[in-house]
């Protein structure tokens, strides 16, 4: 059976642990990986392209707008064709239905490099960063502040509980996580010893935590949806005052950051920030994931 990574809980706790500790070397020597971008990208594109090359494989970067994707080619047809050329397919796209269709018809592993619903490669890198700075994830508490109904919140809930973490999401009324996501995260937490807590008070959310995380308040594709994505979120800004209660917590941001909105310069550039370690770990986590899924691991 082909192993895909479309959302965080596609990896079991044991598999997630294996990926986070895997040292792949040149595990994909002689192979090729297609990486498709239907959304803009910087860190995702560079980390995948460099990582694939470091694994010994050939990265094939595809800008959807300059190919038949931009003319509406069926995802099922593209999946069948690309599977004849490559050993894995990575895609950064919009609706989760698109990547689901790609995975249904592909005969090689498909990896989610970001969709509207999930950002699982980012959370793998975040978990790697937490392990790096705190020695592990099990039993640690992470507070995510901001839009609870976006891909990062979803992936923190699923990926964090898979790692045995206590996941708190603090968001304004009307921006809380979807019920099916929280119910699934609670199911995982029962197996791993983690927990899920939804809050509206950011100060309550960060009390006693090990990790504080945020994301932009306006995700890609939401810029012109007519919803005020500044005013309701102002109390959820990660700033020096908020962090006084948790001086030893590390701070995560998946980038790009809107400095002065969801996070201040003082925090982003301060001693609690591990944002650029987190960014680097995109490279390492994705290399390990590719090696694991393509069965080329050492």
Check 215, 272, 278, 286 and give the catalytic one: 215
Q: Is 68 a catalytic residue?
A: no
151 a known binding residue? Answer: yes
120 a known binding residue? Answer: yes
Q: Is 168 a catalytic residue?
A: no
Residue with tokens 């596609």: 10
Q: How far is CA 256 from the centre of its chain?
A: 13
Check 4, 92, 184, 253 and give the catalytic one: 92
Check 122, 237, 278, 286 and give the catalytic one: 122
122 a known binding residue? Answer: yes
254 a known binding residue? Answer: yes
CA atoms within 13 A on the CB side of 197: 21
* Contacts of 60 by beta carbon, 8 Å cutoff, 6+ apart: 32, 33, 34, 35, 85, 86
Check 116, 168, 254, 272 and give the catalytic one: 254
121 a known binding residue? Answer: yes
Q: State the pairing for strand pair 88-92/110-112.
A: parallel
268 a known binding residue? Answer: no
Q: Is 122 a catalytic residue?
A: yes
Check 119, 131, 253, 284 and give the catalytic one: 119
* Contacts of 1 by beta carbon, 8 Å cutoff, 6+ apart: none
Q: Is 166 a catalytic residue?
A: no
109 a known binding residue? Answer: no
Residues annotated within the binding site for L-ornithine are 151, 215, 219-220
Residues annotated within the binding site are 92, 119-122, 151, 215, 219-220, 254-255, 282
Residues annotated within the binding site for carbamoyl phosphate are 92, 119-122, 254-255, 282
List the catalytic residues: 92, 119, 122, 215, 254, 282
């Amino acid at each position: 059976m082909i192993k895909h990574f479309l959302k965080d809980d596609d990896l079991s706790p044991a598999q997630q642990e294996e990926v986070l500790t895997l040292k792949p070397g040149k595990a994909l020597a002689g192979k090729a990986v297609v990486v498709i971008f239907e959304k803009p990208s910087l860190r995702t594109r560079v980390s995948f392209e460099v990582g694939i090359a470091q694994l010994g494989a050939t990265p094939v970067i595809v800008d959807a707008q300059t190919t038949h994707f931009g003319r509406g080619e069926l995802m099922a047809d593209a999946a069948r064709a690309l599977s004849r050329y490559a050993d894995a397919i990575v895609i950064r796209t919009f609706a989760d239905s698109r990547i689901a269709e790609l995975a249904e018809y592909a005969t090689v592993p498909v990896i989610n490099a970001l969709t509207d619903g999930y950002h699982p490669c980012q959370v793998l890198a975040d978990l790697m960063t937490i392990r790096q700075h705190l020695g592990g994830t099990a039993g640690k508490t992470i507070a995510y502040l901001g839009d609870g109904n976006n891909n990062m919140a979803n992936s923190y809930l699923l990926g964090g509980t898979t790692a045995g973490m206590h996941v708190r999401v603090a968001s304004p009324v009307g921006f809380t996580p979807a019920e099916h996501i929280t119910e699934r995260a609670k199911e995982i937490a029962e197996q791993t010893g983690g927990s899920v807590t939804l809050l509206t008070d950011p100060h309550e959310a960060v009390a006693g935590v090990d990790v504080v995380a945020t994301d932009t308040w306006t995700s890609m594709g939401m810029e012109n949806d007519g919803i005020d994505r500044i005013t309701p979120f102002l109390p959820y800004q990660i700033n020096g005052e908020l962090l006084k209660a948790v001086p030893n917590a590390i701070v995560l941001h998946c980038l790009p950051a809107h400095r002065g909105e969801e996070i201040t310069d003082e925090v982003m550039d301060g001693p609690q920030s591990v944002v650029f370690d987190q960014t680097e770990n995109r490279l390492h986590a994705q290399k390990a994931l590719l090696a694991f899924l393509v069965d080329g691991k050492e």
